[in-house]
Amino acid sequence: MARPLDWQLATVAGVRDETDTVRSFSLTLPAWAGHRPGQHVDLRLTAEDGYSVERSYSIASEPERAPEVDITVERIADGEVSPFLHDVVVPGDRLEVRGPIGGYFVWEASQPGPLLLVGGGSGVVPLMAMLRHRARNGAMNPTRLLLSSRGPGEIIYRDELDRLAATNDGFEVVHTLTREQPPGWTGYARRIDEAMLAEVLEPLDREARVYVCGPTALVETTANALVRIGLAPSQIRTERFGPTGT
């Protein structure tokens, strides 16, 4: 069994489009120690001249799917890694991966109590691992996901989130669409703010565990607002991915 810090050659088992700019890759790992929902992997690309570049990607799949793990990657136009993954990588290719990494931004079904997940764009990815794990384990704890997306076509995992919410196991999804709303849209249509968070939190207990992942500005706004609403900083775990993610 490889240790998490050892690089191993993963095989791309499948590729799936989530939106026009977001794609999921299923990786089969030869020696996977198992992960916890919310953890990430490091991925390394090395050119023939030896130049190499690393990126961290959140694991999207639940641990129960091991030794296959999914990563979901947004194509960043001027990025070094994501355009390669999107434009070049096909099933059967091999990628250097190590992990799982990072035990801080982790939720497991063994942790009872209400759960609030807040995501911005591809910040939903580690939260999805938690939700898939939660569903797989039959957890019934009250859980809400507030997901901010630019428009209806940019909601990652939209159909699966709807299916999960339809199972009546205590999970609800709340969308806000910040730039473009479909005709007849009755949901939120603005960036996440304190009033929105107060409304989404209201059905949950004030003792809820909170996980926030997205662009740094969204995470800052959310974490600060939740503290003003009265949550303790120790209830809130954050994963900032910078201006847009890379």
Partner 1 sequence: MAMDTDMNQVLMLDGNALAGLLADLFGADVTVVPAKCAACGEVNEMGALHAYVRAPGSVLRCPICGAVMMRIVQTDRTTRIEMRGIAYFRFETGG
Question: Contact residues for partner 1 (CB under 8 A)?
Answer: 4-5, 40, 42, 54, 56, 98, 101-105, 216-217, 220, 237-243
Helix (H) or strand (E) holding 133: helix 124-136
C-alpha separations of 47 from 50, 80, 99, 205, 243 in Å: 5, 12, 21, 51, 26
| Smallest distance from partner 1 to CB 138, Å | 27
d(CA 69, CA 101): 13
d(CA 233, CA 241): 19
Which residue lies nearer to partner 1 by CB, 4 or 142?
Answer: 4
| Smallest distance from partner 1 to CB 192, Å | 16
Which residue lies nearer to partner 1 by CB, 4 or 170?
Answer: 4
| Smallest distance from partner 1 to CB 237, Å | 8
Which residue lies nearer to partner 1 by CB, 135 or 214?
Answer: 214
Strands of the sheet containing 52-58, edge to edge, are: 52-58, 40-46, 94-101, 8-17, 22-28, 68-74
Amino acid at 7: W
Which residue lies nearer to partner 1 by CB, 40 or 158?
Answer: 40
| Mutual angle of helices 158-165 and 124-136, in 10-degree steps | 40
> Using only C-alpha atoms, what is the Rg of the chain?
18
The answer to whether the CB of 109 falls within 8 A of the CB of 133 is yes
Which residue lies nearer to partner 1 by CB, 114 or 214?
Answer: 214
d(CA 222, CA 191): 10
CA atoms within 13 A on the CB side of 134: 33
Which residue lies nearer to partner 1 by CB, 44 or 75?
Answer: 44
Which residue lies nearer to partner 1 by CB, 100 or 114?
Answer: 100
| Smallest distance from partner 1 to CB 238, Å | 6
| Smallest distance from partner 1 to CB 103, Å | 5
| Smallest distance from partner 1 to CB 96, Å | 13
Residue in the structure block whose two tokens are 């992997």: 41
